[in-house]
Amino acid sequence: MPLLNGDRGDRLVPHDPESYQVRRRFTLPFLLIILAFVALFFRLWILQIVKGREYDYTSRMNRIRTVNSPAPRGMILDRKGRILADNIPSYSAYLYPEDAENLPSILKKVEKTLDVDAEEAQNKMKEAKGAQFFKPVLLKDGISWEELSKLEVQKFSLPGIRVEWKPRRSYSFGPLASHLIGYVGEIDERKLKDLRKEYRMGDFIGKSGIEEKMEVYLKGLDGAVMRKVDAYGRELEVLDQTQAYPGKNVFLSIDSDLQHTAERLLQGKRGTIIAMDPRTGEILALANAPSFDPSLFASGVSPEVWQRLVSDPSHPLENKALRGVYSPGSTFKVITLAAALEEKLVTPETKLLCTGGLRVGKRLFRCWRRGGHGEVDLRKAVVQSCDVYFYRLARMVGIDKLAAYARRFGLGKPTGIGLGYEKAGLVPTSEWKLAQTAVPWVEGDTVLTGIGQGYILLTPMQLLEVYSAIANGGKLMRPLPVKKIEYTDGKPVEEFSPDVLGTVNVHKETLDFIRDALTGVVNDPGGTGAGARLPDVEVAGKTGTAQVVRSRLFDGVKESEIPEELRDHAWFVSFAPAQDAEIAVVVIVEHGGMGGRVAAPLAREMIRTYFELKEEED
């Protein structure tokens, strides 16, 4: 008989299966709810207590962000105000490290969208740690409209990726004067450590030429925009703004018309042409061939393009005018001549016999004219470039005095133009040879040096300085590539005046004689520089043919049959008008052959163009 519910004191309540099932059904959800509240509490504790300060900072960073407003780089112009380097608008993709929650995933997406190397971007992130962590990392400069559109579409799945506008360097005439103007590139980590206050990672800085030399003027003062943004970086409003100030404009001393002429004359050749005003040292043109387009670097050069440039056997990045060192050949004879006259070893009337060669010890040193020049005086020896005459002069002077006179004319040290690393060349002495080779100097070394062969080496800029000093009466002028610097509104910042480095310290009569002889080289019958002759302007100059290998290896062989890389270098140095020079020009064509045949006509065209341009201005 079942027990009554009222009899609870000493009776048992029977088991209710249905009630038990109900209680069991609610127990599990109840436990899950409790666990959820515990987890939520724990998460809130982590967010507010453990990482409260960090997330508070991040939220403020998300709310207010200061973005750089890059200043346009100053323009580079020629002496007449024609723009050579300017700026164009460009868009760049940056990564803000503090906003990138899942960096590997983001970089993988960016790699496909922007065609950038995710591993390289990761390395940039590592470099950005520390003081630079909250500054953006440049992923790609100069993105296309298509890439910009893709980034905008994926904005919500790419937290930390921002697109910013910035000015990008543009070169109006492409490769024109590229070795003089130089190029810009992304600042490297080493320089960034020294220049953290002025630059940020991803900024571009002058890497060579005027872009590097004038960086302090060309770089403007960046501004900043303080924006209120949401967690995705979308702009809500502008809170504050600091104006950016553009860089200052740099006016070069070159004339772009004359520069165009120099570049045209060097097409298809390897070498350099430099034109300078010997009165002031102003560089009127400086061209190298082959050349390169500095625009390749304006957005950051790819590893493939860089490797192609540096591995090119013709060395397009090398500034041959300042870093190419060559034997000067017969252009050096003016030094031997000056030394002999100053030491009173000869007079202009001194005659010597040339039979086609001079034997020194067991070796026969030949003249370029195999039959010889016969009996010639000093002026005729210069005009016809008689090697035997200068062999004899060099023996009279001796190597150490010859070296001393070479240094008087500025050889053996950089000219001071200040465009990156400039080579000093080599003025050999007996002591130098013994120290370098452990072999004593011999007389054969001296006669070779007297005609600009052997160990003597110099740059085209150094040789131009020698002849400019002869043209202007003995002053060694510092080469000036920059004429003035101005603010964007035209107000002057700095003007560069002629800088006399010193004098050659030889008598006026010696320089007058050398100028007269060099005038004969171009204008006298039989002169080796007749290819530079002009009908309306008296040109003075000197030819030079610098041997690459000993000429006797190709005795009787036509020049066209000699491999190009073994042919002689062709030199010509000149100035005009001969007695009151306004322009001096040096030309070297690598492996070009005879200087009078190959280089002299190029100098003639440079001088002709200069005076035609001058006449147009008048």
b/e 582-602 (16+ beta carbons within 10 angstroms → b): bbbbbbbbbbbbbbbbbbbbb
Place of tokens 């067991």: 362
Task: Spot the catalytic one: 253, 327, 330, 574.
Answer: 330
> Cα–Cα distance between 319 and 306 in angstroms, integer?
17
How far apart, in Å, are the Cα atoms of 397 and each of 343, 394, 407, 446?
Answer: 8, 5, 15, 9
Q: What is the DSSP letter of 580?
A: S
Beta strands in 153-270 (DSSP E): 161-171, 184-186, 204-206, 223-229, 235-242, 249-252
| Count of residues in the chain | 618
CA dihedral sign, ordered 196, 199, 202, 204 = negative
Place of tokens 């070779």: 448
Give residue 257's region: left, alpha or beta (phi > 0; psi -120 to 50): alpha
> Cα–Cα distance between 190 and 482 in angstroms, integer?
28
Contact at 8 Å (CB) between 152 and 58?
A: no
> Cα–Cα distance between 548 and 528 in angstroms, integer?
20
Q: To the nearest 10°, the Cα dihedral for 12, 17, 18, 22?
A: 100
List, in order, residues 6 or more apart from 121 with CB less than 8 Å away: 95, 107, 110, 111, 137, 139
List, in order, residues 6 or more apart from 18 with CB less than 8 Å away: none
Q: What is the DSSP letter of 97?
A: G
> Cα–Cα distance between 417 and 180 in angstroms, integer?
11
Other C-beta atoms lying within 10 Å of the C-beta of residue 442: 14
b/e 120-159 (16+ beta carbons within 10 angstroms → b): ebeebbeebeeebeebbbbbbbebeeebeebbeeeeeebb
> Cα–Cα distance between 601 and 572 in angstroms, integer?
9
Q: Mark whether 330 is an active-site residue.
A: yes
Q: What are the residue numbers of the active site?
A: 330
